[in-house]
Structure 1
Amino acid sequence: MLFKLLTTPLITASLFAGAAQAQTAYPLSLENCGVDITFDHAPKSTVTIGQAATEVLYALDLGDQVIGTSVWFTKVLPEFETLNASVERLADNDPSFESVVAKRPGLVTVQYEWHVGAQGIVATREQFMDVGIPTYTLPADCVGKDNSTGSDGTRTQLYKMDSVYRGVTELAQIFDVPARGEEMVDALKTREAAAIAKAKGLDLPDASAAFWFSSAEMDIDPYVAGQGGAPAYMMNALGLRNVVESNEEWPTVSWETIARANPSVLVIARMERRRFEADDIEKKLEFLKSDPVASQMDAVKNNRIVIMDGHSMDPSIRNISALETLADALASFGLK
């Protein structure tokens, strides 16, 4: 059975209907990815650099404050399509420093330090501060992670959803809607626990998996999930053994090595970008069926393939929908 990720609304308007009208006590001081930041009041506007940051703000019902977005990996979550269509997109990929500053935002909300950080390709945090614009980076990109080692960085601790929840909570505090953040985190935690319980109930002690993101070329070693990032968290949470033992977040591993490990389940990324030939999901599927090595894996022979949006493999609120989809797939595959 080929199993596809079906995204479900992460937050609905009714979620906040009964929320207590708690307020943030300003000045609010936070330690954010090694930088101390203080807010004397809620920002009136923000530009986002990174889709994960954009979708957190939308989910917190802060779309009116988002005046520009950038760095898109795939389509916005379906429940935010109308809202997103009304927000200016500064760039599909990396925005220029000048285009962000020209919007005069009260805050720049960032997904990755390699965009805005010590060696930021858009700018450093100091450059934004020099023009009076504070920045906030999602903690999922720096908690338990060393970003001095390259664009992907190196995980020094296993990624957990706690860092995503921290980002939701802190952004809600910054924008003076702390109750929304609390309710959103509670809802996500409830769904996370249910997905984990569902997988645990299957009693699959010998099940294993591999996550294939892409490949620079179809006939060379693929980029697969190592032991540190969001896919590793999903596998660990659902009791799946990751057949890729590298501590790198997205190492390249030969199909011969993966085939020898023979994962029970193969998870493959679907994405809008076309940087590499293997970004195309149809070409991935065609390769798996035709390649003399990959086609011999049990996961391929028995069609135990799960398709996920590539962005669901990045640290983000989408990880919960991905976790649910993987748990549902395990229940349907009849691995026992």
Structure 2
Amino acid sequence: MTSFSTLRSVGRATLFAGLLSIPTWVQAESTAKTILLENCGQQLALSEPPQRVVTVGQATTEMLYSLGLGDRVVGTSNWFTDVAPEFEKIDSGIERIAENFPSFEGVMARKPDLVTADFLFTVGPNGVVGKREQFHKLGVNTYVLASQCIDQDTSKGIDGVRTALFSLDSLYRSIRDIASLFRVEPRGEALIESIRQREAMAIASAEPYRQQGLSGVVWYSSAALGVDPWVGGSKGVPAWMMASLGVENVIDSDEVWPMVGWESIAKANPDFIVIAKMDRRRFEADDYKKKLKFLRTDPVTREMDAVKNDHIIVMDAHAMEVTLRSVAGLEVLSKAIVELNSAER
């Protein structure tokens, strides 16, 4: 049987674009144009494309790179894993302000005219980096991924609670928003088509096995090995991957990353376990090799069928969030389902 633990996320390749609410262009005075864009309850009004951007999050960083806007980025922060290989050259020439969360002063020292963020808990009402109003008072626009406000209540916990299953539409919206802010809409449309094609191919590949009744769970990390893990909830990106491929998610919480006991997961006995691989090391369980060792040695988890059968899939952690790599995660899961069924014939 093919060992699932040998699979790796291959989604560091082409990056994509989005859909939904095209920002409104308004003729201002004579020849100047102003773009008006609503973003998570805030109104952005730009008379010209931003020239100096600081990013608080890898997702928006790679969106800018994918749209050919790396020359506008003057600082990045909050990285979970390595930059995609195709962006290594451009990224190497851009200052990394912080691996995790930068300070407000650290961001402002780069004199940005736009700050982008992946999460409202970093730049938002109670942002650990700063509130959006703090930046706006100093004349700095902010943009937060639209997915933070589409079918998601971020007032409940750090990651929030989802009210509907994630779809790529919210990712498309962010890419289109950013493309519009910089007036490179055609690049965004080309990326939209790319991601749509990849999604369709991944779903089609696993379609013959949709009726197999497979179930799974996605383990992101844990505060410590042995304690209740953070797993993919019933409506986040991992749930979208599974639903797209006809897989049952054994977790039914609406939280984005709920904490669920191993005893409960073992009782559900999923057919496979997806574990996150990341470069971040805030917690011991961020290391996927330690996740593997725990699963194979813990008296509860080692008795699960997924562990006994080595149905453990290693996936890029960045693909488990709302990012340009989400479709790569779908591809990895689709490939694993095909290999599982091929091996058992």
TM-score range, shorter chain: over 0.9
Aligned to 1:276: 283
Aligned to 2:22: none
Aligned to 1:166: 173
Q: One-letter code of the match for 2:14?
A: L
Aligned identity (percent) is 46
Alpha-carbon displacement from aligned partner over 1:252-279 (angstroms, at most 9, x marks no partner): 2121211111111110011112222211
> Separation in 2 of the partners of 1:300 and 1:27?
56
1:7 aligns with 2:14: no
Aligned to 2:92: 85
Which secondary structure state, in structure 2, belongs to the residue aligned with residue 136 of structure 1? strand
Contact 1:141 1:315 (C-alpha < 8 Å) held by counterparts: no
Contact 1:53 1:138 (C-alpha < 8 Å) held by counterparts: yes
Query: More deviation in 175-184 or 309-318?
Result: 309-318
Q: Which residue, 241, 247, 250 being the options, matches 1:234?
A: 241
Contact 2:117 2:145 (C-alpha < 8 Å) held by counterparts: yes
Alpha-carbon displacement from aligned partner over 1:29-82 (angstroms, at most 9, x marks no partner): 111011121111111121101111101101111100111101111111111111
Q: One-letter code of the match for 2:266?
A: A
Which secondary structure state, in structure 2, belongs to the residue aligned with residue 69 of structure 1? strand
Q: One-letter code of the match for 2:236?
A: G
Q: Which has the higher contact order (CA 8 A, sep 6+)?
A: 2
Q: One-letter code of the match for 1:284?
A: K
Deviation at 1:11, TM superposition (A): 4.3
C-alpha RMSD of the superposition: 1.7
Contact 1:214 1:278 (C-alpha < 8 Å) held by counterparts: yes
Structure 1 runs (4+) deviating above 6 angstroms are none
1:321 aligns with 2:325: no
Q: One-letter code of the match for 2:210?
A: D
Segments of structure 1 that go 5 or more residues without pairing to the other structure are: 16-23
Segments of structure 2 that go 5 or more residues without pairing to the other structure are: 18-24, 27-32
Deviation at 1:228, TM superposition (A): 2.1
Deviation at 1:130, TM superposition (A): 0.7
Aligned to 1:68: 75
Aligned to 1:48: 55
> Separation in 2 of the partners of 1:4 and 1:73?
16
1:224 aligns with 2:231: yes
Contact 2:11 2:327 (C-alpha < 8 Å) held by counterparts: no
> Separation in 1 of the partners of 2:254 and 2:12?
31
Contact 2:46 2:181 (C-alpha < 8 Å) held by counterparts: yes
> Separation in 1 of the partners of 2:165 and 2:308?
31
Aligned residues: 326
Contact 1:225 1:251 (C-alpha < 8 Å) held by counterparts: yes
TM-score, length-scaled by structure 2: 0.91
1:102 aligns with 2:109: yes
Deviation at 1:8, TM superposition (A): 4.1
